[in-house]
Structure 1
Amino acid sequence: MNDLESWLSDSAILSRKSASELVFEELRNLILSGRFATGSKLPSEAKLAAKYGVSRPIVREALRSLQILGLTETRTGSGTYVLTAASDGNIRYGDYSARDLMEARPFVEVSAAGWAALRRNDDELSRLLGLCDRMEQEGDTEAWVRLDSDFHGLIAEASKNTVFRDIVDDVREAMAQQSGLLTALGPRRQESNEEHRAIVDAIRQGSEAKAQAAMEIHLKKVEAAVSRIIGAEPR
């Protein structure tokens, strides 16, 4: 029996409440520790589901999150393969690392929210409120992530600052990957909906200070959730 077969034969009991996150965390740790080496093929969804006593959709969410982080890739008709052990722990979303994204976002988006409160027009406010309504009603994760991306892009647009707008546009794909990871593995969707609503309410009031504070709270909570999932310490 090889090492992988030995690992599969060990029983694993997980809490159903956060099963996807727990499956993801163990697989991530196995990759980062080198037990699942670069280039190796992960066990099938069926074998992983049997090992953990969970459904295949739960395993699929965990595997999807590994792929979002760039740790694996899924090859159609072949399976899921380890891309990198990411030994420095600095997970990437495409061109940007998780660390770099979280360090940069507050400097752009907090100020953008403040300016949006002072400069937004009625159409932009109406669109922001509409996005909040749609996110609160949306049940599909991928559709919600697209709406989330639109929300942050629109706030930057409403700031009437082209530098903020262009920076947010440039990192929107990375932000969407981060958002997809959080909504797949935790309760962040409902929490984000509430935080988004607070940001828009402050923008509606025209309060620069409240809008900045609401966005800062939102980004701090995003950072804490990301840090928990990727195994890093928040600032």
Structure 2
Amino acid sequence: MQVRPRLVTLEGGEGAGKSTVLVALRDALEAAGEEVVCTREPGGTPLAERIRALLLDTPSAANGHEVPAPGTELLLMFAARAQHVHRTIEPALARGAWVISDRFTDASFAYQGAARGGDPRFIAELERNVVGIRPGLTLLLDVPVDIGLARARGRGGVDRIESEADDFFQRVREAYLERARAEPDRIRVIDARQPADAVAAEAVALLHAHRGGAR
């Protein structure tokens, strides 16, 4: 498994504020003269965005979508991720750009693993054999489930995963925190209950500290 220092990922449950932090990180890197590629998962390429629609659209008679089985969801996530790495992330890193991704493989351990009951050993195999890389820095925006869901659902337009029950998201949160305890040097936890500007400032400070050692 290759660690890519210039790959920075944002993780956290629903309503954690990842989009706001992504913009702050992008602006900080661009102000320092760096090229930055901002992307997301599932998605990040035209094909991966089509897979995203299959994964997140709420099934209905109108759209003809069926609910993916847990194993189907997991494999579709990794199919999208493989395309994302091959077509977007690796080319950007190869030319010296920084890549900031809203979610990456840690999300599959939390959502398809802990929350859906998927085998973490199989997910780790997919990570090794399909993805092959890990970020140099992961910022985990941690927020209690009730607060995060109130934020997310207040925006409207809830997708299939956002409509899950609260206990689903509690398992997601616990899995993320467990991964952070296991990899404290890579996964840095930020209290996302703070005001958005305080969360963004803490994220930028952690990025600058990481950047100093990522030459």
Q: TM-score range by the shorter chain?
A: under 0.3
Higher relative contact order (CA 8 A, sep 6+): 2
**Larger helix share, 1 or 2:** 1
TM-score calculated relative to the size of structure 1: 0.25
TM-score calculated relative to the size of structure 2: 0.27
Q: Which of the two has higher C-alpha Rg? A: 1
**Larger strand share, 1 or 2:** 2
